[in-house]
Amino acid sequence: MAALIKSGQSSLPRALQRLMQILRVLIRHKCLGALRGKKHWPQPKEVRETFEELGLIFLKFGQVLALRHDMLPEDYIAELELLHDELPGLGIDAVRARVEEELGAPMATLFSAFGDTPLAAATIAQVHEATTIDGRHVAVKVQRPGLEAVIATDIAVLNFLVVLAEKFVPRLRAFELSLAVSEFEISLERETDFSREARSIVLIRTALADDADVWIPDVLAEYSSRAVLTMEYSNGERVDLYARRQPEAMPRTITTLVRIMLRTIFELGLFHADPHPGNVFVMPDGRLSLLDFGMTGELDESMRDSLILLLEAVVKRDARAAKEAYLEMTTASDKVNRARLLLDIKAVLYEINRCDLAEVSIGAAFDSLLRAGSRNGVHNPSEFFLLSRAFVILESMIRQLDPHHNYMQSFRTEITRLIKLQFSLARMEEKTIKMGRDTERFLGAAPADMRRVLRRFASGQLGHLQLPALEALGGRISRNLERLNAAIAVAALIIGGAMLVSGPLAAWHSTLGEFMIGGGVIGAVVIYIGAMRRDRGRR
């Protein structure tokens, strides 16, 4: 079973040996000269070759850095994007031993057939075609043995090198490299936990079950573990090869790709972050099949709501609204230069508006926004870079499939549908109920909180009072009370109207009840929109 990745698990002798090996590679490729300043940076090609020579972890870290347009010049980004993680396959004996160890049974009792040659081999795992003992055609993803030790050692060494670099070049601290390594370690832990990938597949398969144009392979849980993942076999054809044979089918295929991406982002909050042609297949019946969910991004509900507001603000060219929506999605701090951020966002929107709408790149626009945030003290969560990466890869694939397709038309159509869904009656009812519950919890906790404050005040242990914080608290209390009163009135209208409609009374009672329900729904919408506007204006 794959162990959790902890850099502290690495032994000191092994880490020192690996450190000396890494230093020799860095010296040979003239990378240590970068500590003397930007003039001594190595050539981009030398940097790429360094990552490739250093192996799995550094190769993966180079791929992560390729997303950070806010950190590296474009020529380095372009070179790092050439990094690939294809490796020679493991011997079949090692694969069989790994499968038997993970699943706790001999291969003969699990599979009636198991391909000796892998379908694909990468740094983390390789995939084999197989048939289960009960006759199901499957693809088995097997993790390479010994990964946990390699990862633990290289992460420990990587942390040491970052500390060393920041000590000799203090200006590197502005890039928060230590935080980048920490997030990278977490992403590796997720990528090497196949049980997490299995859950992602099940969630996305369930969310897209009503889409007749999509097929997601099911997971065979009894044949899976943290290091082995068994799925239904996809007998489709790579989408780029399919496009060469049937170019007339591409408009529908591209529309489906855009719909899948936006639905999983905004409705599920879990999206495929690596939608390149090798992971997108077309089934014999024309349905699209997505494969390899090892790299996925997650956005919570509040981030998704803010992302919709951000996209709406970009379309409307409202830089101030775009700034507020963007900051709602991040961890804002006192270091954020909001005035300069607003100017940079205006510049981004200006560049977007100069282009023809059909030529606008969502990935490039989002990437420009992230760079503007990083320049002005905003810490962008790793999910943002995954989202930017996903859009860039998707747009590149669309241009490859059909250079003349109006990708933005498909995007606009789906975004319009999502915005309508966002403000549907069912969604508004859900928001209103949630707001009522939050208010109820707040009012329930308020007396106890007030008693604690008064006791501390009486004992002289209240601490340092900050007037802005107290004013903000008072404002929140006042706003919540206003919303509670309005929500009670709305609920009364809806409940009273429902009683009149459902009761065995005169016809005019039913009409009055319908008016009351309609008034209650409109009131809920007004409360929600007003609350959002006040909150955005306050921030």
* Residue 170 maps to a domain: yes
Kindly report the average pLDDT of the chain as a whole number. 78
Average pLDDT over every residue of 348-359: 73
Flag whether pLDDT at 133 surpasses 80. yes
Kindly state whether residues 532 and 384 are assigned to the same domain: no
- CATH number where 126 lies: 3.30.200.20
* Residue 2 maps to a domain: no
Kindly state whether residues 379 and 440 are assigned to the same domain: no
Domain boundary at 128, 163, 188, which?
188
- Which of 226, 154, 143, 144 minimizes the C-alpha distance to 7? 154
- What pLDDT digit, counting tens, does each position of 45-84 carry? 888 888 888 877 788 788 777 767 667 788 888 888 777 6
Helix (H, G, I), strand (E, B) or coil at 422: helix
Flag whether pLDDT at 284 surpasses 90. yes
Helical H runs in 32-137?
Answer: 44-54, 56-65, 74-80, 92-103, 107-110
**Structure token pair of residue 227:** 């290091």
- What pLDDT digit, counting tens, does each position of 395-439 carry? 888 888 988 877 777 777 777 777 676 655 565 566 666 666 666
Kindly state whether residues 296 and 251 are assigned to the same domain: yes
Q: pLDDT tier at 450 (50, 70, 90 boundaries)? A: low
Flag whether pLDDT at 277 surpasses 80. yes
Kindly state whether residues 351 and 204 are assigned to the same domain: no
Q: pLDDT tier at 508 (50, 70, 90 boundaries)? A: low
Kindly state whether residues 71 and 208 are assigned to the same domain: no
Kindly state whether residues 306 and 382 are assigned to the same domain: yes
Between residues 403 and 244, the one the model is more confident about: 244
- Which of 332, 328, 302 minimizes the C-alpha distance to 313? 328
Kindly state whether residues 342 and 273 are assigned to the same domain: yes
* pLDDT for residue 6: 44
pLDDT above 90 coverage of the chain, percent: 23
CA distance 271 to 83: 23
* Residue 471 maps to a domain: no
Look up the domain containing 368 and give its range: 236-422
- 304 — phi, psi (to 5°)? -65, -40
* pLDDT for residue 21: 84
* Residue 473 maps to a domain: no
- Which of 401, 414, 418, 429 minimizes the C-alpha distance to 527? 429
* Residue 1 maps to a domain: no
Q: pLDDT tier at 247 (50, 70, 90 boundaries)? A: very high
Please report, for the chain, how many H helices and E strands are present, in that order.
20, 11
> Residue 140: CB partners within 8 Å, gap ≥ 6?
99, 111, 114, 127, 128, 129, 130, 223, 228, 229, 230
Flag whether pLDDT at 384 surpasses 80. yes
Between residues 362 and 128, the one the model is more confident about: 128
* pLDDT for residue 210: 92
Average pLDDT over every residue of 6-18: 62
Average pLDDT over every residue of 318-340: 82
Flag whether pLDDT at 539 surpasses 80. no
The residues that bridge with 337 in the sheet, in sequence order, are none
Kindly state whether residues 284 and 314 are assigned to the same domain: yes
Flag whether pLDDT at 170 surpasses 80. no
pLDDT above 70 coverage of the chain, percent: 69
The residues that bridge with 86 in the sheet, in sequence order, are 122
Three-state secondary structure of 473-529: HHHHHHHHHHHHHHHHHHHHHHHHHHHHHHCCCCHHHHHHHHHHHHHHHHHHHHHHH
Kindly state whether residues 63 and 81 are assigned to the same domain: yes
Kindly state whether residues 340 and 240 are assigned to the same domain: yes
Three-state secondary structure of 121-135: EECCEEEEEEEECCC
The residues that bridge with 214 in the sheet, in sequence order, are 288
Kindly state whether residues 351 and 395 are assigned to the same domain: yes
* Residue 134 maps to a domain: yes
Average pLDDT over every residue of 308-326: 82
- Structural domain total, the chain: 4
Kindly state whether residues 376 and 505 are assigned to the same domain: no
